[in-house]
Chain A
Amino acid sequence: MIGGLEIIIGLPLLGALVVLLLSRRDTVAAWVGVAFGSATLAGSVVPWAATIDDGGGYVARSDTAWIRALDVRWALGLDRLSAPLVVLTALLSWCCLVALVRRAPSCGARPGLVALVLVLESASIGTFAALDLIVFFVFFELVLIPMWFVIADWGDEHDPVGRRRAATRFLVTTVTGSALMLVGFLLLHARTGTFDVTELPSRAGQIGAGTQVLVAVLFLLGFGAKVPVWPLHFWLPDAHSKAPTVGSVLLAGVLLKLGTYGLLRFWADVPDGAVRVAPYLGALGVVGIVYGALACLAQTDLKRLIAYSSVGHMGFVLLAISTLTEQGRLAANFANVAHGIITALLFFVVGAVKDRVGTTELAGIGRALYARAPHLGAAFGFAAVASLGLPGLAGFWGEMLSMLAAYSPAAALSRSTYVVFMVVAGLGAVLTTAYFVVAIRRVCQGVPDRDAVGDVGRDEWVAWSPLVASVLALGIFPVIMLWSGSASALAGRR
Chain B
Amino acid sequence: MTQAVDWVAIAPPLSLVIAALTALLVDAAWPRVRVLAGLVSLTGVVVALGFTMSGRNEARSTFCFADGELPTSCSWLVDDVTSAWWLIMLIATALVVLLLWTAAVSGELPAGELHFLVLASAAGALAVAAAQDLITLLVAMETVSLPAFALVGLRRVDRRGAEAALKFFITSVVATALSLLGISMVYGATGSVAAGPVAASIASGNAVTPVIGVGMVLTVVALGFKVAAVPFQAWVPDTYVGAPIPVAGYLSVVSKAAGLAGLTIVLVRFLATYVDTWSTMVGVAAALTMTVGNLGALRQRHIVRLLAWSSVAQAGYLLVPLAAGGLPEDVTALQAYALMYAVVNLTAFAAALAVASWGKSDLADCMGLARSHPWIGGSLAFALLCLAGLPPGVVGLVAKVAIFRSAVDGDLIWLAVIVGVNVAIGLVYYLRFLAVLVQPAASDVAGPAGVGAHDEDDHWAGLDRAVPWSTEFVVGITLAAAVVLSVFPGLLFSAIS
Residues of A within 8 A of B (CB): 23-24, 26, 65-70, 72, 107-111, 123, 134, 137-139, 141-142, 144-145, 148-149, 152-153, 164, 168, 171-173, 175-176, 179-180, 182-183, 186-187, 189-190, 214
Chain B interface residue count: which class?
35 or more
With A123-B391, A173-B424, A186-B407 known, 11 other A-B pairs at CB within 8 A are: A26-B449, A66-B489, A69-B493, A153-B438, A153-B439, A164-B435, A172-B424, A175-B424, A175-B427, A179-B404, A179-B420
A65 to B419 CA separation, bound complex (whole angstroms): 27
A428 to chain B, nearest CB (A): 31
A134 to B398 CA separation, bound complex (whole angstroms): 8
A-B contact pairs, 30 of them (CB 8 A): A24-B450, A66-B489, A67-B489, A68-B493, A68-B494, A69-B332, A69-B490, A69-B494, A109-B440, A109-B449, A134-B401, A138-B394, A141-B391, A142-B392, A145-B390, A145-B392, A152-B435, A153-B435, A153-B440, A171-B427, A175-B423, A175-B427, A176-B424, A179-B416, A179-B423, A182-B401, A186-B404, A186-B407, A189-B405, A190-B409
A183 to B404 CA separation, bound complex (whole angstroms): 7
Which residues of the partner chain A approach B428 to less than 8 Å between Cβ atoms? 168, 172
Smallest CB-CB separation from A143: which chain B residue? B391
Selected contact of B408 from candidates A23, A110, A190, CB within 8 Å: A190
A26 to B452 CA separation, bound complex (whole angstroms): 14
Residues of B within 8 A of A (CB): 332, 336, 385, 390-392, 394, 397-398, 401-402, 404-405, 407-409, 413, 416-417, 419-421, 423-425, 427-428, 431-432, 435, 438-440, 444-445, 449-450, 488-490, 492-494, 497
Is there contact, CB below 8 Å, between A182 and B404? Answer: yes
A172 to B394 CA separation, bound complex (whole angstroms): 18
Interface of B is mostly: helix
Which residues of the partner chain B approach A182 to less than 8 Å between Cβ atoms? 401, 404, 420
Is there contact, CB below 8 Å, between B391 and A179? Answer: no
Q: How many A-B residue pairs have CB under 8 A?
A: 123
Which residues of the partner chain A approach B394 to less than 8 Å between Cβ atoms? 138, 142
A70 to B494 CA separation, bound complex (whole angstroms): 11
Is there contact, CB below 8 Å, between A179 and B419? Answer: yes
Which residues of the partner chain B approach A186 to less than 8 Å between Cβ atoms? 401, 404-405, 407-409, 416
Is there contact, CB below 8 Å, between B424 and A142? Answer: no
Is there contact, CB below 8 Å, between B408 and A68? Answer: no
Smallest CB-CB separation from B487: which chain A residue? A66
B75 to chain A, nearest CB (A): 30
Is there contact, CB below 8 Å, between B416 and A141? Answer: no
Which residues of the partner chain A approach B421 to less than 8 Å between Cβ atoms? 176, 179
A152 to B439 CA separation, bound complex (whole angstroms): 10
Is there contact, CB below 8 Å, between B398 and A144? Answer: no
Smallest CB-CB separation from B490: which chain A residue? A67
Smallest CB-CB separation from A164: which chain B residue? B435
Which residues of the partner chain B approach A190 to less than 8 Å between Cβ atoms? 405, 408-409
Selected contact of A69 from candidates B409, B424, B497, CB within 8 Å: B497
A26 to B444 CA separation, bound complex (whole angstroms): 14
Selected contact of A187 from candidates B332, B397, B408, B423, CB within 8 Å: B408
B273 to chain A, nearest CB (A): 24
Which residues of the partner chain B approach A171 to less than 8 Å between Cβ atoms? 427, 431
Smallest CB-CB separation from B399: which chain A residue? A70
Which residues of the partner chain B approach A139 to less than 8 Å between Cβ atoms? 391
A3 to chain B, nearest CB (A): 17
